[in-house]
């Protein structure tokens, strides 16, 4: 045992010697850490007032997105989304901005059209491009409709 045991420097001595620190040093180290980092914890934000929740709902209905509302009201976008959902407002779909859409965007009517076009000679890649989905999504849509697929590269 060192003369500094029971203090943070005592814990440092144990640590430097690669020893397991004694109980008084561990307690002192924990106390030091709590004191050292006490001022760095960010306080939780107060709950949003009912008036601001109504304003968030009204602006979302008017067309503002979660990011704009989060900047305007000083809240995280997920918090804004939760406020909107709690008010029972239906969420808008994301704009795809030219990207391919998700598989769930193909409804049964589109899958039926896709199957008919495939039977008329379209390739899976052409269908994927036409419906703005990935090759795998087009493939899965065709197989879910019970279409027997041609081998790749076999032409028609």
pLDDT at 105 over 60: yes
pLDDT at 109 over 60: yes
pLDDT at 151: 84
> What pTM value is reported for the model?
0.38
Measured CA angle at 74 (ends 70, 77), to 5 deg = 30
Token digits for 113? 């059209």
Residue-wise pLDDT for 35-85, tens only, equals 777 766 555 677 888 999 999 999 999 988 888 998 898 888 999 999 999
Provide the pLDDT for residue 127. 92
Query: pLDDT over 90 for what percent of the chain?
Result: 29
The yes-or-no verdict on residue 99 having pLDDT over 60 is no
> Considering just the CA atoms, what is the radius of gyration of the chain in Å?
30
Contact 91, 85 (CB under 8 A): yes
Q: For the chain, what are the domain ranges?
A: 8-38, 50-86, 103-144
State the average pLDDT for the chain.
84
């Amino acid at each position: 045992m060192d003369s500094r045991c029971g203090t943070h420097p005592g814990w440092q001595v144990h640590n430097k010697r690669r020893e397991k620190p004694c109980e008084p040093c561990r307690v002192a180290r924990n106390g030091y850490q709590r004191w050292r980092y006490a001022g760095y914890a960010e306080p939780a934000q107060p709950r949003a007032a009912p008036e601001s929740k109504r304003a968030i709902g009204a602006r979302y209905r008017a067309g503002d997105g979660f990011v704009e509302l989060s900047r305007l009201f000083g809240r995280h976008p997920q918090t804004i989304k939760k406020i909107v959902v709690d008010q029972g407002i239906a969420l808008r779909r994301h704009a795809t901005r030219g990207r391919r859409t998700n598989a769930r965007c193909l409804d049964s009517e589109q899958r039926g059209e896709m199957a008919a076009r495939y039977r008329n000679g379209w390739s899976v890649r052409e269908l994927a491009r036409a419906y703005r989905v990935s090759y795998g999504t087009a493939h899965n849509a065709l197989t879910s409709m019970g279409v027997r697929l041609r081998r790749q590269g076999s032409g028609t």
